[in-house]
């Protein structure tokens, strides 16, 4: 697979990474670790060198899974993980019960890093993101704490997730930000107005999560699809049956392009992202080998300028229905 550099940094990774969250968290019951390890290792064998996890996924279980799966490939892959939540009894970082509990105090960041290093079975975290901006802690203090970890050799690169432009600029002035991770796809295009231009100006890479719209853009979900009671999508406004019915127009557009290109809707959605900027690296997640291979195949799909114009014109006429997060989680983004 082709490689890409995240912004002006020297962090070079596969053009498509693997988001590992869904193996342990958020999309129904956690999968069996012994079934997921072969999927992660199959990704490496097929050229994927960029893996995304976080301490909150589980909590902790996903980092342990990724650490065990990637032990044979130390030095050949880059692992990104995240800090920024408290794990006090009764708190739920997804916001499904109670309020999410943020904690990006410098001393907490350093404790979190030690835990992640152990679970990932590494000496250095390749890319360490603040998972959500903590309004109680100045971003300069957060960047300073990660700068200390970089100086100590425990972290290589600093990242932010779902941060707004002002926060990105303030953090970058203290410790260069290698990558921003935020939701971006054909049905979530908010970053295009301010964030992507700022990233280009500052030389920061972009890692879109949910590049397949939490599964919707694959064409395998419709208004009648039901989710497990523990599936996060049950509380996402964009996944009400009414919103799914309205948003089908976007999937139909992807399907029509896919037919012309002998590809799948998911591959077109990922190829569209790759075509936006050479420093964009999407991280689709999956628990299935055949989906992994489908997603990786998107790197070989070429969209011409005419294809991109056609997608842009058609997509501009489609209104996406429903917010991408419940209100209390939406308030934690773009700060």
Domain assignment present for residue 221? The answer is: no
Q: Domain holding 35: CATH number?
A: 3.20.20.100
The total domain count for the chain is 1
Q: Per-residue confidence at 232, pLDDT binned at 50, 70, 90? A: very high
The answer to whether 205 and 9 have CB atoms below 8 angstroms apart is: yes
Residue 57 falls in the annotated catalytic set: yes
Kindly report which listed range (12-16, 97-101, 185-189) carries the lowest average pLDDT score.
97-101
CB-CB neighbours of 322 under 10 Å:
15
Domain assignment present for residue 312? The answer is: no
Strands, sheet with 155-161, edge to edge from the N-terminal-most edge strand:
18-19, 50-52, 78-83, 125-130, 155-161, 177-183, 205-209
Give the distance, in angstroms, between the CA of residue 28 and the centroid of all CA atoms in the same chain.
Answer: 18
Domain assignment present for residue 280? The answer is: yes
Domain assignment present for residue 335? The answer is: no
Give whole-number Cα distances, 2 to 44, 48, 185, 297, 300, in Å: 13, 9, 20, 11, 9
335 pLDDT more than 50: yes
100 pLDDT more than 60: no
Per-residue model confidence (pLDDT) at position 95: 47
Domain assignment present for residue 8? The answer is: yes
Domain assignment present for residue 228? The answer is: no
Catalytic residue among 27, 57, 129, 325: 57
Domain assignment present for residue 327? The answer is: no
Cα gap 187→143, rounded to integer Å:
31
Quote the domain boundaries for residue 165: 3-215+264-302
Q: What are phi and psi of 204, to 5 degrees?
A: -110, 135
Per-residue model confidence (pLDDT) at position 99: 47
DSSP state of 129: E
What percentage of residues in the chain have a pLDDT greater than 70? 96
Domain assignment present for residue 139? The answer is: yes
The answer to whether 108 and 131 have CB atoms below 8 angstroms apart is: no
């Amino acid at each position: 697979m082709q490689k890409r550099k995240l912004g002006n940094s020297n962090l070079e990774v596969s053009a498509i990474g693997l988001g590992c969250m869904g193996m342990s968290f958020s999309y129904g019951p956690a999968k069996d670790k012994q079934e997921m390890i072969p999927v992660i290792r199959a990704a490496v064998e097929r050229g994927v060198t960029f893996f995304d996890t976080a301490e909150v996924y589980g909590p902790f279980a996903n980092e342990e899974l990724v650490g065990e799966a990637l032990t044979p490939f130390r030095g050949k892959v880059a692992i990104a993980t995240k800090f920024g939540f408290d794990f006090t009894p009764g708190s739920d970082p997804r916001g499904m019960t109670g309020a999410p509990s943020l904690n990006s105090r410098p001393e907490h960041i350093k404790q979190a890093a030690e835990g992640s290093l152990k679970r990932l079975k590494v000496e250095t975290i390749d890319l360490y993101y603040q998972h959500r901006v903590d309004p109680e802690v100045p971003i300069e203090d957060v960047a300073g704490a990660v700068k200390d970890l970089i100086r100590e050799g425990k972290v290589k690169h600093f990242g932010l997730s779902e941060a707004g432009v002002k926060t990105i600029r303030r953090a970058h002035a203290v410790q260069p930000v290698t990558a921003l991770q935020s939701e971006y796809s054909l049905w979530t295009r908010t970053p295009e107005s301010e964030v992507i231009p700022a990233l280009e100006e500052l030389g920061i890479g972009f890692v879109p999560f949910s590049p397949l719209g939490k599964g919707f853009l694959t064409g395998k979900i419709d208004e009648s699809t039901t989710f497990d009671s523990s599936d996060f999508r049950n509380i996402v406004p964009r996944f009400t049956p009414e919103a799914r019915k309205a948003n089908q127009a976007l999937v139909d557009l992807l399907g029509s392009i896919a037919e012309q290109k002998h590809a799948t809707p998911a591959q077109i959605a990922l190829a569209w992202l790759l075509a936006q900027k050479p420093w964009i690296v999407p991280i689709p997640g999956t628990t299935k080998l055949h989906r992994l291979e489908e997603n990786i195949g998107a790197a070989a799909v070429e969209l011409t300028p005419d294809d991109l114009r056609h997608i842009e014109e058609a997509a501009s006429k489609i209104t996406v229905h429903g917010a991408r997060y419940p209100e209390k989680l939406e308030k934690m983004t773009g700060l």
